Amino acid sequence: MKKVTISTLIKMKQQGERITVITAYDASFAKLFDEQGMDAILIGDSLGMVLMGEDDTLPVTIEQMVYHTRSVKKGTQRAFVIADMPFMSYATTEQTYTNAARLMAAGASMVKMEGGDWLLDSVRGLTERGIPVCGHLGLTPQSVHKLGGFRVQGREQQQAEDLINQAMALENAGAQMLVLECVPTELARRVTEALSIPVIGIGAGPDTDGQVLVMHDMLGVSANYMPKFSKNYLALCGDIRKAVSLYIEEVKQGKFPTDEQSFS
């Protein structure tokens, strides 16, 4: 099967084909997801919660992200590989360049950073230096203490308008993909229509260009809790490969997420 690139994903958006994304943290699961036809694999700093048992993602280090990115890459042949930049690894432009380069050298094809306007210079700088960037707006887990917990974002009109403006600014700065987390369905639809780059939702309703889930949530084995926006596909199938295949099928056909996994 032909290798997925950022050009592939942009073309999928243009053609209205849904994009499937899942997190992975090791070579074995990456290989399984890749073989089932997943479009993209994200090495998420969610590993702090689902692998390490932490209350949030903040303790995750760049060294850990490099390790897991290298592991995932070894199991991946086709899928597009995205790596999270962990908390405070991109506080300055110099840090950003150094740490993004480490993740790319470990096998990532794109790095993901959380935040809006304050990131624009870093996004421009990475883009100029040949490093593709994925933005992340809405609920940004690295800012969980500032946000007052894991709460839906963008419900107030001014909040929603600010988020749309930030999304457009990130694209203008060079971001080639955007993750929207825990925002109302209508807001996610507006952002998706406003951007020419792929918008991937998690708890953002059915109208984004694609969906991403944490693999432990999708398999119903998360240590902490099952988010409202997730679905336990393993419970439906009883087999991991069938569960992954069903997740891909439902995203492609627009059957996931439903109103049950979305926010108004």
Active site residue ranges: 181
Tokens 């209508």 found at: 186
Find the Cα–Cα–Cα–Cα dihedral 46, 38, 231, 202, rounded to 10°.
60
DSSP H helices in 75-206: 93-106, 120-128, 144-147, 157-173, 185-194
First and final C-alpha spacing in the chain = 38
Structure tokens that stand for 113 in this block: 């950073």
Does the annotation place 46 within a ligand binding site? yes
The structure tokens listed for 161 are 């308008």
Q: Tell me: is residue 112 an annotated ligand-binding position.
A: yes
Are 95 and 85 contacting, i.e. CB atoms less than 8 angstroms apart? no
45 annotated among ligand-binding-site residues? yes
* Binding-site annotation, residues for 3-methyl-2-oxobutanoate: 45-46, 84, 112
* Binding-site annotation, residues for Mg(2+): 45, 84, 114
